[in-house]
């Protein structure tokens, strides 16, 4: 089963048939922007579209959805967002990097965050309870999730000493993720080995360096670059036999965190409320209440690791 099929089934999504635009009634327009490639973003687009359908907004019937992709390069985003704004959307939506660019270009078009590590800290909102301005949506607190991944890695690797931390420097939450990770590692007697990346070339240099750095484990700090090249990262870590916390469905040892698919589906609820007249600045930014653990038994076997019972009892899913 390929990644797109898995995500579609896991999210309970159904393909939607193409239909012609309604001849009467209002047709709304939504602009959605990704830092990643179209292939990587496809299941997220499907989740977003399914969420819109949940609230009666059907693409091709009473809603036009314009999607743009940065293909893993943040430098492409400003031009892509200019294209979306030129189409005069009723709402814009995107992850924190595109959303920050959107906010810099418009203070009038409502912006829905599909995912953000720290919307207040990076200046997208005045507070979670009352954002103010034109931005609201979903926050997934990645800077808190990364340290938890380190704690779980310790259960797999009791003598954990050197933990590689991939940091997407284009992500506004990367500094907080690094600081929190260093504190979490220190409490376990471990040391963080950071790798700072903002594009594929820098990532490939980091992956080459890992072969010499004698890492006991690896964790990603979140961000578009990490997500975009997740398969490349996991192929490299498996080749080097480095236990990695990431996307268990792509081959990481385990996953921990909220469902990204659910975040995109939930963000459609904000789009619906705004299209019905709500002001984004008055809609509280939502944080996740459920964190899922998935364990990849095939990867554990390939690494010669036994999955601790303490992890198995917490696992929401086990991949064999």
CA distances from 175 to 146, 180, 307 (A): 12, 9, 31
- When pLDDT is cut at 50, 70 and 90, the band that residue 41 belongs to is very high
Please classify residue 197 by burial: count the beta carbons closer than 10 Å to its beta carbon, then call 0-12 exposed, 13-18 middle and 19+ buried: buried
The larger pLDDT score, comparing residue 172 to residue 81, is at 81
Q: Is the pLDDT of residue 29 over 70?
A: yes
Structure tokens at 180: 């929190």
Same fold across 3-140+259-282 and 142-257+292-319: yes
* 136 Cβ contact partners less than 8 Å away, ≥ 6 residues apart: 110, 111, 112, 113, 125, 270, 280, 281, 283, 284, 285
- Is the domain covering 3-140+259-282 a CATH 3.30.300.30 domain? no
CA distance 27 to 24: 9
Give the pLDDT confidence score for residue 91 in this predicted structure: 98
CA distance 315 to 253: 12
* 37 Cβ contact partners less than 8 Å away, ≥ 6 residues apart: 69, 71, 72, 228
Q: For the chain, what are the domain ranges? A: 3-140+259-282, 142-257+292-319
Per-residue pLDDT of 254-312, as tens digits, reads 999 888 888 999 999 999 999 999 999 999 999 887 888 999 999 999 999 999 999 99
Q: Assign domain 142-257+292-319 to its CATH superfamily.
A: Response regulator (3.40.50.2300)
Position of tokens 């999955």? 307
- When pLDDT is cut at 50, 70 and 90, the band that residue 10 belongs to is very low
* 272 Cβ contact partners less than 8 Å away, ≥ 6 residues apart: 52, 55, 56, 57
- When pLDDT is cut at 50, 70 and 90, the band that residue 25 belongs to is low
């Amino acid at each position: 089963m390929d990644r797109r099929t898995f995500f579609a089934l896991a999210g309970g999504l159904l393909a939607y048939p193409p239909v012609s635009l309604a001849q009467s009634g209002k047709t709304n327009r939504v602009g959605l922007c990704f830092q990643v490639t179209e292939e990587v973003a496809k299941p997220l687009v499907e989740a977003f579209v399914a969420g819109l359908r949940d609230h009666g907004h059907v693409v091709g019937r009473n809603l036009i959805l314009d999607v743009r992709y940065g293909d893993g390069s943040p430098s492409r985003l400003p031009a892509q967002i200019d294209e979306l704004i030129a189409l005069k959307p009723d709402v814009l939506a995107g992850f924190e990097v595109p959303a920050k660019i959107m906010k810099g270009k418009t203070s009038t078009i409502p912006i829905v965050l599909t995912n953000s590590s720290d919307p207040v800290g990076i200046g997208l909102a005045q507070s979670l309870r009352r954002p103010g301005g034109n931005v609201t949506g979903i926050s997934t607190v990645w800077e808190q999730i990364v340290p938890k991944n380190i704690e779980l890695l310790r259960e797999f690797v009791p003598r954990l000493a050197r933990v590689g931390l991939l940091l997407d420097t284009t992500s506004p939450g990367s500094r907080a993720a690094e600081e929190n990770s260093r504190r979490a590692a220190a409490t376990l007697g471990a040391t963080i080995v950071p790798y700072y990346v903002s594009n594929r070339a820098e990532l490939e240099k980091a992956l080459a360096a890992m072969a010499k750095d004698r890492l006991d484990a690896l964790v990603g700090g979140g961000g578009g670059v990490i997500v975009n090249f997740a398969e490349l990262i996991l192929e490299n870590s498996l080749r080097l036999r480095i236990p990695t916390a990431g996307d268990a469905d792509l081959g990481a040892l385990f996953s921990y965190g909220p469902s990204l698919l659910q975040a995109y589906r939930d963000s459609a609820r904000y789009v619906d409320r705004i299209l019905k007249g709500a002001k984004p600045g008055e809609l509280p930014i939502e944080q996740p209440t459920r964190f899922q653990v998935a364990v990849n038994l095939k990867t554990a076997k390939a690494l010669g690791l036994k999955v601790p019972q303490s992890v198995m009892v917490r696992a929401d899913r086990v991949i064999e």
